[in-house]
Amino acid sequence: MTSFVLSHFALASPLGAGRAETVAALHDGRGGLSPCAFETVRIPTHIGEVDGLDRPVAGGLADYDCRNNRLALMALEQDGFIDAVAGARKRYGAHRIGLFAGTSTAGILETELLFRRRDPVTGALPADFHYAQTHNTYSVADFAQRVLGLAGPAFVVSAACASTAKAFGNAARMIALGLCDAAVVGGADSLCLTTLYGFHSLQLTAEGPCRPFDASRSGISIGEAAGFALLERAERAPGAISLLGIGESSDAHHMSSPHPEGLGARMAMERALAAAGLAPEDIDYINLHGTATRVGDAAEDQAIWGLFGDRTPCNSTKGQTGHTLGASGILETIIAALCLDEGFIPSSPTTERLDPTLRCRYLIQGTDRPLRRVMSNSFGFGGSNCSVILGAAP
């Protein structure tokens, strides 16, 4: 594939806002999960909540105010990202920079709250409902495009938990075909009642902090995050983290359970390797999807074992961040970039005793070491799979 780099990136997650807080938390094995006290939710579970989302979106974009866009804005405001995009806008022109974002639930939290305020007689929603700016799935791309002053092609990918990983594929194709010169890739998914009660009804939420690949793992911890990356052709930003390959597939198995042998997951990883022109032994670390469900981790383990055997170090950072659903692709791709940039593999501090039936080389203890290539996996409802491979600057 054409050579691309993540010339700038920014994020906000339960680990903190921006690069420094994220790296410090990952490096020290500090977790971002706490007992759920979100809104009026009474579910015995832990969540990864981002602090500091109380400030409404103000000014000309006030109609876009919702938790999801506040979180997106918090990420965009980190580490000089808005200025970096402004620089790119000067080089390429606003309409030559695409914006490909992902989310699964957009601003549905606000609609959930509005449904409690419906007219008791007519069932009508209050007049202060800004459907297009908050509820519609596209709202996060529309909002980010306006914050960044961009005017290129844009859309939202909403393919459950693979959304923001798949968006890298859209961006890479559009740039390679000359439909845009650069693209902002990313998105946000924020806490809401739909996902908390929905995953609870599927009996997929763990009571304590989630424990990926642990023998006694019992489900996910739902988290929230936002992240954005500026994707450019490699020659534009020499020395930056490279996007080496993307692989996508479908399970064709079940709406809410992965293929038991991880066939779709394996196909996504194989395609990412093929796109990058790499062999399994070229990957130094895999940031797993690793949500800590019984079946999900087992399926991913089978896929990893089949392709990488027990050689390649891998683990999941969801014990620290929670499962940030549609944002997990961009969050963990940026975590992969940070691992490459800083030369470390994070720990998996909530995993205490590895499941002896799982065979991949899962690292509970992180390590400082130079990494050349890292893979990040994202798999979602509907059997939607995506693997992304990043490389360190040569």
Query: Is 161 tagged catalytic?
Result: yes
| Distance (Å, whole) CA 275 – CA 233 | 16
Whole-angstrom distance between the N-terminal and C-terminal Cα of the chain?
Answer: 17
Count the alpha carbons within 13 Å of 26 in the hemisphere toward its beta carbon: 30
User: Which residue among the candidates 210, 289, 339, 360 is catalytic per the annotation?
Assistant: 289
Q: Where are the alpha helices (DSSP H) in 93-162?
A: 108-115, 139-148
Tokens of 46: 């832990």
Q: Which of 135, 210, 323, 339 is catalytic?
A: 323
Q: How far is the CB of 176 from other proteins (least distance, A)?
A: 6
Q: Look-up: residue for tokens 């008791």?
A: 120
- Compute the radius of gyration of the chain from its Cα atoms: 20
Nearer to other proteins, 150 or 229 (CB): 150
* Minimum CB distance to other proteins, residue 383 (Å): 6
Give 391's strand partners. Answer: 242, 373
Q: Which is nearer to other proteins, 228 or 381 (CB)?
A: 381
List the catalytic residue out of 66, 161, 210, 386: 161
Is residue 386 within 8 Å of residue 166, measured between CB atoms?
yes
**Type of residue numbered 133:** Q
Q: Could you tell me the smallest distance in angstroms from the CB atom of residue 144 to other proteins?
A: 12
Supply the minimum distance, in Å, between the C-beta of residue 250 and other proteins. 4
CA torsion sign for 287, 289, 293, 294 is negative
Q: Which is nearer to other proteins, 140 or 390 (CB)?
A: 140
- Using DSSP bridges, classify how beta strands 285-287 and 4-13 pair: parallel, antiparallel or unpaired: unpaired
Q: Which is nearer to other proteins, 47 or 371 (CB)?
A: 47
DSSP 50: P
Looking at beta carbons only, is 187 or 209 nearer to other proteins? Answer: 187
Contact in structure between 171 and 11 (CB atoms under 8 Å): no
Nearest distance, CB of residue 192 and other proteins, angstroms: 9
Distance of CA 217 to the CA centre of its chain: 21
Query: Is the sign of the CA dihedral 12, 235, 88, 276 positive or negative?
Result: negative
The nearest distance, CB 349 to other proteins, in angstroms, is: 30
Number of CB atoms found within 10 A of residue 233's CB = 15
- Whether residue 323 lies in the annotated active site: yes
Q: Which residues bind other proteins (CB under 8 A)?
A: 95, 104, 108, 111-112, 115-116, 118, 123-125, 129, 131-132, 135-138, 141-142, 145, 150-160, 166, 169-170, 173-174, 176-177, 179, 193-194, 197-199, 201-202, 248-256, 263-264, 267, 380-384
Provide the 3-class DSSP secondary structure of residue 44.
Answer: coil
Quick one: 198 or 280, whose CB is closer to other proteins?
A: 198
- Strand 384-391 and strand 367-368: pairing? unpaired
Q: Which residues are catalytic?
A: 161, 289, 323
